[in-house]
Amino acid sequence: MTVIVLLAATIFLAGSTAYFASGGLQQKTPAPNLSNEITHKLQAYQVTGVDSTSTSGSSLNSITVSATGDATYTPNEALVQVTVVAQESTAEAATQADAQSTTSVISALEGIGVSNSSIETQGFSLDADYANCYSSCIPSIIGYTVSNTIQVNVTSSDAKTLGLTAGQVIDTAVKAGANQVNLYFGATQSLVDQITAVALKNAVGSADVQAQTIASSLGVSITGVISAAEGGGYSPEPYYGYTALATMSSATSATPIVPGTQSFSMTVDVVYSI
């Protein structure tokens, strides 16, 4: 009988975490791990961009948010590319013909007040033209094509004025001999700086809202910002706005040009402590 009681006592002690202290039997319970509990919540919500790092041996929980901010702006710069294309039987004749027409275009633009500093050459090419050749025939040169492109930079803070001036440049160039026209709108550096600041501010505001929403869903609080970095974006490069192929040396009416508005975006990555 005594042996059975001792055996039962041994089994009971081996299967428990009880121990004798201060003259009594007490139960030892492990302390809760808050970090593991929060991590478990994050996994349950399947939130991406949330991590836990260690600083000086202590657990630092954080929420990382990537947000985008937009800024709407009206272009204050128009880049008008006008091209003179000449085709002749010889390279010399094509070059001379193109040079004569291009000179006329530049003179005409200067005549309406376009400064020489606003005009620059964008490209020049001389290409041989070949007859159609099929099967085993030998291609033969039937002429030459010269293409000369100049760009006119027009700026104005007033959208209507910018459009009218760009249209006038197009009409003047076509009348003087240009037979290809492309128009792009853009922004000067000062305007780029302004809209970049607005877009970044909106991106940070969006990041704050997202972080607060995530923290509230997890039952935690935002305690501060650990780091913030610009995540990327794009500068307002000139965008394609208008193109025309001129087939006549004169125009009967002014070409209407409307700059419109554009959207510019910036992205930020912000790490919040919780």
- 130 within a domain of the structure (yes/no): no
Domain of residue 9 covers 2-49
- 239 within a domain of the structure (yes/no): no
- 205 within a domain of the structure (yes/no): no
Share of the chain above pLDDT 90, in %: 60
- 256 within a domain of the structure (yes/no): no
Asked if pLDDT for residue 224 goes beyond 70, the answer is yes
- 29 within a domain of the structure (yes/no): yes
Asked if pLDDT for residue 246 goes beyond 60, the answer is no
- 34 within a domain of the structure (yes/no): yes
- 73 within a domain of the structure (yes/no): no
Q: Per-residue pLDDT tens for 18-48?
A: 333 333 333 333 433 433 333 333 333 333 3
- 16 within a domain of the structure (yes/no): yes
Angle CA 44–46–47, to nearest 5: 125
One-letter amino acid at 210 equals Q
**Per-residue pLDDT at 260:** 87
Do the Cβ atoms of 150 and 110 come closer than 8 Å? Answer: no
End-to-end CA distance of the chain: 61
**Per-residue pLDDT at 94:** 97
Q: How many domains are contained in the chain?
A: 1
Least confident of 120-124, 135-139, 176-180: 135-139
Backbone Cα Rg of the chain: 37
Angstrom distance (rounded) from CA 204 to CA 114: 42
Asked if pLDDT for residue 59 goes beyond 70, the answer is no
Least confident of 34-48, 198-212, 241-255: 34-48
* CA atoms within a 13 Å half-sphere pointing along the CA-CB vector of 162: 24
